[in-house]
Amino acid sequence: MIAILKKELWSYFGNWSAWIIIGAFSLITALFLFFFENDSNIFDIGMASLQSYFVLVPWLLMFIIPALSMKTFAEEQQTGTLNWLFSQPLKVSDLVAGKFLSVWIVGVLCLIPSLIYLYTVYVLGVPAGNIDLGMTFGSYIGLIVLIAAFSGVGILASSLSQNQIMAYLLGVFMCFIMYFGIEQLASYKLLGGADFILQNIGFYQHFLGFTRGLIDLKDVAYFILIIGATLLLSNHFITKKK
């Protein structure tokens, strides 16, 4: 697994793709938070808070994580190197875990530049430091586990696809449905009491708890379950291709 992880990380950082993604992600968030006139602009909100950042980022991650994960298995199958990997003394579970961790690590690294925004908001507060650090810390934890969930979904989409374009589109669709689609469907209240159950199947409600500064064991267990399920399914579909 470690060998696969190193190989995948080198493939991201060796050809500048990870640097470009991290740079583009940071630029887009900076423009929305400080320059563009929108509901996320910190100066327009007039509050020393990064809450708008934590609302914006999941939407960007829906497109960025599938872009990172689409090559994990779809490219291997497209180029024929997947069969070569099967011939190595390597478990399919190690292969899946190594690729998952590489996508997750690059996704988490996208958050590092936001520490500059945190410092900026901290200094601009009146008085300086007037920011809810508990809520901010909880939101960062929430983003880290959400990236892991999106990574698992992206890996699953790649394991189901024959090429990278299909893997990307399927990954974006699945991430959108799990984060926003299920939540919106439940909001129509078409299923009566079952709407609450449907609402809790999606990512949004569980991520929302973290943004309030509450690290609930139920939410943590939910994301662990989702990650485990997506990796087990990926392992199943990759094994069937042997």
Structure confidence at residue 60 as a pLDDT band (50, 70, 90): very high
Tell me, what's the pLDDT at 122?
Answer: 85
Tell me, what's the pLDDT at 206?
Answer: 92
Please, which residues have CB within 8 angstroms of residue 72's CB and are 6 or more apart in sequence?
Answer: 8, 99, 102, 103, 154, 155, 158, 159
Task: Check residue 10 and give left, alpha or beta (phi > 0: left; psi -120 to 50: alpha).
Answer: alpha
- Lowest mean pLDDT of 78-82, 116-120, 138-142, name the range: 78-82
How far apart CA 125 and CA 186 sit, in angstroms, is 37
- Lowest mean pLDDT of 21-25, 66-70, 162-166, 189-193, name the range: 189-193
- Lowest mean pLDDT of 90-99, 112-121, 122-131, name the range: 122-131
Asked if 119 and 112 count as a contact pair (C-beta separation under 8 A), the reply is no
Tell me, what's the pLDDT at 241?
Answer: 81
Query: Given the structure tokens 């200094």, which residue do they identify?
Result: 123
Tell me, what's the pLDDT at 2?
Answer: 87
Query: Given the structure tokens 């995948």, which residue do they identify?
Result: 8
How far apart CA 178 and CA 175 sit, in angstroms, is 5
Rounded mean pLDDT of the chain? 88
Tell me, what's the pLDDT at 193?
Answer: 67
158-198 per-position pLDDT tens digit: 999 888 999 999 999 999 999 998 888 887 777 666 777 77
Answer yes or no: is pLDDT of 157 > 90.
Answer: yes
Answer yes or no: is pLDDT of 238 > 80.
Answer: yes
Asked if 150 and 65 count as a contact pair (C-beta separation under 8 A), the reply is yes
Answer yes or no: is pLDDT of 43 > 80.
Answer: no
Tell me, what's the pLDDT at 214?
Answer: 84
Average pLDDT over residues 105-132: 86
- Lowest mean pLDDT of 140-144, 188-192, 222-226, name the range: 188-192
